[in-house]
Amino acid sequence: MGSYILGRIIQLIPVLFLISVIVFGIMHLLPGDPALLMLAGAEGGAIPPERLAQLREQMGLNDPLLVQFWHFISGAVVGDLGESLRFREPVLAMILDRLGSTVELAVAGLFCSLLIGVPLGILASVRQGGWIDTICMTLSYLGASLPVYWLGLILVFFFAFNLGWFPSSGGGSIEQLILPALSLGLINAGLIARLVRSSMVEVLGEDYMRTGRAKGLPPRLLLWRHGIKNAMIPVVTMVGLQFGNMLAGTVVTETVFSRPGVGRLIVNAIIAKDYPLVQGAVLLLAVIYVSVNLLVDILYAFLDPRIRYGR
C-alpha cells in the first residue's frame, strides 16, 4: 500500500506542472495589461508612459515569460505563491482566507447530490422498468441538463425573492449556504442517480443475489447488506470526480450568490489580470482535486477486499 501511494504521489507531480503551464499560458494570452488596468482604476485620465513603465518594472512584467514562470514554479514548490499584483498581498494568505467558504460549499453541494441521487438511483433499480423508474430517471436527466447558473437564479427567484425563505447572497451561515449547495447538488444528483441505478441493476442480477433470494433472505437485508455495498464501488469513483466538479462549479455559484470564496476571487483576478492570484488559486484547487482522487483510490481496498495495490 505504501509503495502504491508513493507512486501515485510521484505521478501527480507532472499533472500539477502541466496545469501550471496551461494556466500561466492562458493568462498571458488574454488581452490587456494589468499595470494599465491598475493605473486606470487608481488614477484615471491620461496615464504617463513613464509611470506605466515604472509600474511594469516593479511588478516584474518586463521579465521574459520563462523567467516569470520560473519565479512562480520555484516559489510554489516551497509554498510561496507570490504576491497579488492588484492587492499587493501574499497570494497564499488571500486564498486560505477564502478557501474555507469554498470547501464548505463544495462539501455541502456533494452532500446534497448524494442525499438526492443515491436514493433515486436505488429506488429506480428496485423498481426497474416501472413508472417509478421512469420518473426517477426523468428527474435525473432533467437535473443533469440544467446549467448551474440558471438553476441558481431560479432558486433565488422562488425561494429568496418570492417566498423569502432563504437569503439570496452572502456567506457565513447555514441559511446562506442552502441555496448555493442546492444549485450545485441538484446538477450533480442526476449523474449520481444514473450511476447508482446502473450499478445496482448489475449487482441485483449477480449469482450471489439470486442465491440469497433462493435461501429466503429478507429482501431488505439482502439489498442493504449485500447489494448496496457492492454497488457503491463505482459510485465512490464518481464522488471523487464530482468533488472536483463541485470545486469548479463554485466559480459560477459563488458569483451568482455573491459568496466570498476562492471561485469569486478567481473571477475578479481574471478580470484584473492578476497573474499570481489566478495561478496560485487554480494550482491550489488542483492539488485538492488530485488529493481527493488519491484518497478515493485508497478507499477501494476497504470497500472491496479483492482489490490489492502494488501488484
For every one of its 311 residues, what pLDDT tens digit does the chain have, with 9 covering 90 and above? 567 667 777 777 888 888 888 888 887 777 766 766 666 655 555 666 776 677 777 777 777 888 888 888 888 888 777 778 777 788 888 888 888 888 888 888 888 888 888 888 777 777 777 777 788 777 777 777 777 777 788 888 888 878 778 777 766 678 878 888 888 888 788 788 887 787 777 776 666 666 766 766 666 666 666 666 666 777 777 777 777 777 777 777 887 887 888 888 888 888 777 778 888 888 888 888 887 777 777 766 565 555 555 44
- Asked whether the CA dihedral 101, 270, 83, 55 is positive or negative, the reply is negative
pLDDT at 45: 52
d(CA 296, CA 92): 26
DSSP state of 90: B
DSSP label of 261: S
Domain ranges of the chain: 2-91, 94-303
Calculate the alpha carbon distances from 84 to 81, 145, 241, 250, 281 in Å: 9, 37, 30, 21, 11
The torsion angles phi and psi of 98, rounded to 5 degrees, stand at -110, -10
**Domain 94-303 belongs to what architecture?**
Orthogonal Bundle (1.10)
Q: Given this model, what pLDDT does residue 251 score?
A: 77
Q: How far apart are CA 111 and CA 68, in angstroms?
A: 40
In terms of DSSP H, where are the helices of 60-90?
A: 65-77
Closest by CA position to 186, among listed 147, 143, 149: 143
Q: Quick one: the chain helix, strand, coil %, rounded to 5?
A: 80, 0, 20
The closest of 114, 308, 304 to 203, measured between CA atoms, is: 304
Beta strands in the chain (DSSP E): none
Least Cα distance to 239 among 103, 113, 100 occurs for 113
Quick count: other Cβ atoms within 10 Å of Cβ 212?
19
3-state secondary structure (DSSP) of residue 83: strand
State the pLDDT at residue 250: 77
Query: Residue 142 corresponds to which cell in the numbers above?
Result: 432533467
Q: Which of 72, 70, 82, 34 is nearest to 55 (CA)?
A: 34
**pLDDT score for 210:** 66
CA torsion, points 292, 123, 108, 106, in degrees to nearest 10?
Answer: 40
CA 199, CA 122: separation in Å to the nearest integer? 9
Orientation angle between helical segments 91-126 and 174-204, nearest 10 degrees: 40
